[in-house]
Amino acid sequence: MRVLVVGSGGREHALIKAIKKSERVDYIACCPGNGGISYDAECFNVGATDINGVVKLAKDIAADFVVVAPDDPLVDGMVDALNAEGFKTFGPNKAAAIIEGSKVFSKNLMLKYGIPTAEYKVFDKPEDVIEYIKEKNEFPTVIKADGLALGKGVIIPETLEEAIAGVKEIMEDKIFGASGNNVVVEEFLTGPEVSVLAFTDGKCVKPMVSSMDHKRALDGDRGLNTGGMGTVSPNPYYTGEVAKECMEKIFLPTIEAMNKEGRTFKGCLYFGLMITPKGPKVIEYNCRFGDPETQVVLPRLKTDIMDIFEAINNETLSELSIEWDERASACVIMASGGYPKSYPKGLEIKGLSDGQLDGVTVYHAGTALKEGKLVTAGGRVLGVTALGDTLKEALEKSYEAVKKIEFENAHYRKDIGKRALEA
Ligand code: AMP
Ligand code: GLY
């Protein structure tokens, strides 16, 4: 099989490493990919949101299967365009990807089908939002831009002043463009967060092993929100009992709700959950693999990932048994100094050989090859993943490796997994 993976980050690298293990695959391409990915796949300079470009590339390289990994092309209908040309794909079509593409859609879906989530209200006028927040007078409150916003469309104001400033940025200054035409204001929930990625063919749903992300830039969950600074798997807050409740009240009802809406979801559905005192609730849905969750989940996958992708394509997922490694895994992200604000690029990365290091797997998120040398090329640069018999062991291995990798002003959190170890 010849497989094309669309995207360019650590998640895509983890997908490619998993696909590479498949005995059915003899060629992997990636667009646009990155420096580190080019050790594992042939990279093509076609943008991940360039639908026509990707369809043409799939034809040029005679791809048998195309995996669309990022949110934007999924929400824009890249899978539909590929299917129209006869390509087999992994990822939801446009109608189903709206579950991530519009928070208003996903909140209304959950309300309609009784899926537990934070209470909310939808607004299209900034003055109405402010009046509502003033009247409610409950802080912190949560304000979310309706559409995609590079993971930055959520603000959690502690005061009315902060809320007013945030609403102005989203709805008037339009810092996220049309994504801010509507906003959702919702109740602030508390409790540990759990990420559950699930395979689904629209008929059955098979959750993967659980994980925990660390979204803030600094230790102790301080600093700005980022794409994710590290992950661990499993997530100890996701007990067997919680898993059962999630399956009954969240996972199956969501799949059924999407079917009833005529938006059958096929691919990886990401459940961002909060385990509140009143039980698990949905914080967000994503229509794709999480980043950096994928970097701890897929290393534990024992089943051939192409068998899973084929089964989803053929709607025979229920017949497939998916096996997982019992070991724990941990991923520490090494980011450019300054991230998630501005940061330099092009700094030489030292300590790796062909992009890798013994004992761990290094997933490349933002790297480039310049005159044969690996250099930084993004905010998140590397994700260093290790497996261990215990989470503690996995974390130790991962941090030991991180210390051997160098680039100027590299920033990483020192407390990835701390909350999980304390559970
Ligand atoms: P999202 O982009 O929807 O995942 O939101 C980003 C982060 O904001 C989440 O991971 C949570 O930590 C936080 N968050 C979102 N919604 C809520 C909520 N209703 N209550 C508390 N925290 C929230
Ligand atoms: N790690 C969160 C996300 O992929 O959206």
Regarding the beta carbon of 272 and ligand 1, being less than 6 Å apart is answered yes
- CA dist 354 and 360 (Å) reads 13
Closest ligand to C-alpha of residue 107 is 1
- Ligand 2: residue of 11, 99, 195, 268 to mutate (most ligand atoms within 8 A of CB) is 195
Residues 420 and 257: their CA atoms lie apart, in Å, by 32
CA angle 263, 268, 270 (to 5 degrees): 95
pLDDT score at 263: 98
329, 296 Cβ separation under 8 angstroms: yes
What CA–CA distances, in Å, run from 112 to 188, 204, 271, 393? 21, 21, 18, 44
Whose CA is closest to 43, among 368, 381, 361, 383? 368
Pick the ligand that lies closest to the CA of residue 221: 1
Q: What is the pTM of this model?
A: 0.97
Digits of tens for pLDDT over the chain (423 positions)? 999 999 999 999 999 999 999 999 999 999 999 999 999 999 999 999 999 999 999 999 999 999 999 999 999 999 999 999 999 999 999 999 999 999 999 999 999 999 999 999 999 999 999 999 999 999 999 999 999 988 788 999 999 999 999 999 999 999 999 999 999 999 999 999 999 999 999 999 999 999 999 999 999 999 988 999 999 999 999 999 999 999 999 999 999 999 999 999 999 999 999 999 999 999 999 999 999 999 999 999 999 999 999 999 999 999 999 999 999 999 999 999 999 999 999 999 999 999 999 999 999 999 999 999 999 999 999 999 999 999 999 999 999 999 999 999 999 999 999 999 998
77 CA → ligand 2 middle, Å: 20
Cis omega before residue 234 (within 30°)? yes
> 309 by DSSP, 3-state: which?
helix
pLDDT given at position 225: 86
User: H-type helices in 21-102, by residue range?
Assistant: 51-60, 71-75, 78-84, 94-101
In the reported structure, the alpha carbon of residue 189 is separated from the centroid of ligand 1 by a whole-number distance in angstroms of: 8
pLDDT recorded at residue 150? 80
Closest atom of ligand 2 to CA, residue 290: 4
